[in-house]
Amino acid sequence: MRSLVLCLAVVGCANDPSYMECPDNPTDPTCVRVLEAGQDDGTGMGTTVAEAKSSLVLPIKPEKQKDAADRAARTAALGIDVPYVKLGDIEIEVEWTIANLDAQDGIAKVELDGATELFVYDPDMIVLDADEEAPPTPGLDGNIPLDVPANGSITGIFREDQLREASVDIEQVTRANINPFAATLKINKNDTEIQPVTAFDPLNPDVAPTPTGPPIPREAFASIIRVDLVFTPDRHMTLTYNVRVRDIRGDMLPDELLGAPDTDRTAFAPQPYAVMALP
């Protein structure tokens, strides 16, 4: 019984959430936690700052040599690239607060996007239809109009299951060429595999995609390692947010988190995923 209690205690500690607090250096670009938009843009034209964006790359320890060798062996066995930070290795939440700095009620939207170690999902880089009236490519989550009272505030959260869903959606769009609308409108967080299909061709939009290559098994799903937020208010507001991570695997996060030196943090280089339908 004592051993069981000890194991439970250890597991509980390993899974405690770690907040991505800013290190002592206030100029660190990874420490932008307050986004501001809707204010006068200073051009003298009466226009305002339409939106504000922010990205946070999670501090992930460099991969151990043995783990890299094991992963390479599993990649060879599956015939599918197995990422270092896999779905389920970490769990992520994003807490946020919107403050309305205006004396009138307003509306704001918070959109969640992001990147795995393999690819970046940026809706602005995915244009499926050159028609200006066509619906824009959706973000991974959020982007819903929220009522914010005059001189008031509201709070919200992107939960762990939403970030898990976002990770799978990125995989579907980038590694499997699935239409972003189909990927984001369906719940995919419990999928056991993803079937890649032929890439969408904006010049031949009526051609149905066909399966190509072996399915990607869940053990090869990549996790989000970069959280991107897009803040769009209709009047002067701020978005304050924080990210917290649970280290499920137990050896992914350095003790100093964002304060860790570069040598203790993996320098990821995900590739932008782009589809551009030209007029």
pLDDT, one tens digit per residue, over 3-12 is 333 333 334 4
Q: What is the pLDDT of residue 276?
A: 77
What pLDDT shows up at residue 134? 86
How far is Cα 194 from Cα 249, in angstroms, rounded to an integer?
Answer: 23
Please report the pLDDT score of residue 233 as a whole number: 97
Cα–Cα separations (whole angstroms), residue 177 to 80, 87, 171, 173, 210: 15, 19, 9, 5, 10
* Residue at 190 is within a domain: no
Q: If DSSP codes are grouped into helix, strand and coil, which group holds residue 83?
A: coil
- As a whole number, mean pLDDT of residues 242-255 equals 94
| Any domain includes 169 | no
What Å distances lie between residue 193 and 10, 161, 190, 196, CA to CA? 32, 18, 9, 10
In the chain, the percentage of residues whose pLDDT exceeds 90 is 72
215 within domain boundaries:
no
Q: Output the pTM of the full model.
A: 0.89
pLDDT at residue 207, rounded to an integer: 79
Quick check: is 269 in a domain?
yes
Q: Is residue 43 part of a domain?
A: yes
Calpha distance 210→222 (Å, rounded): 23
Cβ atoms of residues 194 and 167 within 8 Å = no
Q: What is the full DSSP assignment across 12-64?
A: HHHTS-EE----S-TT-GGG--EEEESSB-SSSSS-B---EEEEEE---PPPP
Sign of CA dihedral 135, 49, 166, 70: positive
Tell me which amino acid residue 134 is: A
Considering the domain boundaries, does residue 96 fall inside one? yes
| Nearest CA-CA partner of 48 in 201, 235, 277 | 235
Which residue range forms the structural domain that includes residue 95? 17-80+91-161+227-276
C-alpha span between 230 and 52 (Å, rounded): 6
Tally of domains in the chain: 1
pLDDT for 126 beyond 70:
yes
Give the confidence band of 44 by pLDDT, cuts at 50, 70, 90.
confident
Inside any domain, residue 9? no
Average confidence (pLDDT) over 39-53: 88
- CB atoms inside a 10 Å sphere around CB 255: 10
In a domain, 42, yes or no: yes
